[in-house]
Amino acid sequence: MNVRELTEQLEKQNLKPWATQSVGAARETPEQDDDLRTTFQRDRDRIIHSLAFRKLKHKTQVYLAPGDQYRTRLTHSMEVSQIARTIGRSLRLNEDLIEAAALGHDLGHTPFGHAGEKALADYFGHFHHNEQSLRVVRYYGRKGRGLNLTLPVLDAILCHTGTQQPATPEGEVVRFSDRMAYLCHDYDDGLKVGIISTDKLPGMVAMRLGTEPTQMLDLLVHDVVAQSQGRQHIAMSKYFLEAQEEFRNFMFDYVYLSPVLEKEHSKAAHVVHCLLDLFLQQSQLLPVEVQLLFDRFGKQQAVLDYVAGLTDIGAINLFNKYFVPRI
């Protein structure tokens, strides 16, 4: 019995009956099993070693050019992974599946965060970062072969947001953890930036969750674990679900859609739209490897993938190169 088989045996012994086993987890393109790592462990490793994952360190979470002390897409993904793994381990679910999906859930996010996502959606009429994350892992990396992740990980990445619910309890954990993470951590960063203050919190939120980000997150995680014990689906009590929804409305009003950030978001959208116009009209300016994808995906999709994959710094540098006069 090799190391992988021993791990698979331990999964069968220790995980809940409804947890997702790594044995038999299919890929879109079948592969030979590894002797050390389970299928979900290989998925996690492929995500961590991918270019798309490395780029997350220079992609905005909420605050454009925020400095070292605020979250980026990379730190957000790592925090989601930590929260989700804590919940998954407490509920005896497959922690490797959870970790892979959590680390990969935002690989399709754009430069400038949700401002960039909205700019692409406005330009093309449809764009969602969870769908783009699926494209990234399917078609990019490993010299064009894509990461070839297992179907449960692909499902959890796609369904971490939006109307479609995850097919596995591990996917549900990632979905819950993503929302808890971004609300509490974006609130934490908002306090540091000075865009919000604790006295602005709605009464329900302050009473039920408190005003300290770490306390809020701790209460929500404990509630999810308590409500989900012995159940095949992940749940949160009505008491905390109502408070979280009120918290989310507050964050949209005072942070995500605030006039303070809107001016910078408009600048970010302008950069994205200018680059899309430029590369669709003068595709010879694109890197050769992107031009080679025209036959495979079509020019519009290849340009969309390229611009969506840029970091904040990369997008600004291209904008300066092609649109700002040199002195």
273-326 pLDDT, tens digit each: 999 999 999 999 999 999 999 999 999 999 999 999 999 999 999 999 999 998
The token pair that represents 311 in the structure block: 């970091």
pLDDT at 67 over 90: no
CA distances from 277 to 127, 233, 282 (A): 17, 45, 8
Q: Is 37 left (phi over 0), alpha (psi -120 to 50) or beta?
A: beta
For the segment 169-186, the average pLDDT, to the nearest whole number, is 97
The reply to whether 33 falls in a domain is: no
Q: Is residue 139 part of a domain?
A: yes
C-beta separation of 255 from 189 below 8 A: no
Which tokens go with 68? Answer: 């070292």
The pLDDT score that the predictor gives to residue 66 is: 59
- Find, among 152, 162, 99, the residue nearest to 132 by Cα: 162
**In a domain? residue 78:** yes
- CATH number, domain at 297? 1.10.3210.10
Q: Which domain holds residue 173?
A: 38-323
Q: Is residue 9 part of a domain?
A: no
Provide the pLDDT confidence category of residue 10 given band limits of 50, 70 and 90: very high
In-domain check, residue 161: yes
Alpha helices in 125-258, H assignment, sequence order: 129-139, 151-158, 169-193, 203-209, 213-228, 238-251
Is residue 1 in a domain? no
Report the distance separating Cα 201 and Cα 204, nearest Å.
8
Residues 137-156: tens digit of each pLDDT: 999 999 889 999 999 999 99
| Rounded distance between C-alpha atoms, residue 227 and residue 153, angstroms | 24
**Does residue 327 surpass a pLDDT of 90?**
no
Tell whether 291 is covered by a domain.
yes
Cα–Cα dist 118/115, whole Å: 5
Count of domains observed in the chain: 1
DSSP reduced 3-state for 27: strand
Q: What is the mean pLDDT of residues 185-213?
A: 94
**32 within some domain:** no
* 3-class SS of residue 19: coil
Whether residue 84 contacts residue 174, with contact meaning beta carbons closer than 8 Å, is answered with: yes
Per-residue pLDDT band at 221 (split at 50, 70, 90)? very high
Cα–Cα distance for residue pair 201/197, rounded to 1 Å: 8
Between helix 213-228 and helix 169-193 the angle, nearest 10°, is 170
**With bands split at pLDDT 50, 70 and 90, how would you rate the model's confidence at 70?**
confident
What is the DSSP track for 237-294? -HHHHHHHHHHHHHHIIIIIT-HHHHHHHHHHHHHHHHHHHHHHH-GGGS-HHHHTTH
SS (H, E, C) 50-72: CHHHHHHHHCECCCCCCCCCCCE
Say how many residues make up the chain: 327
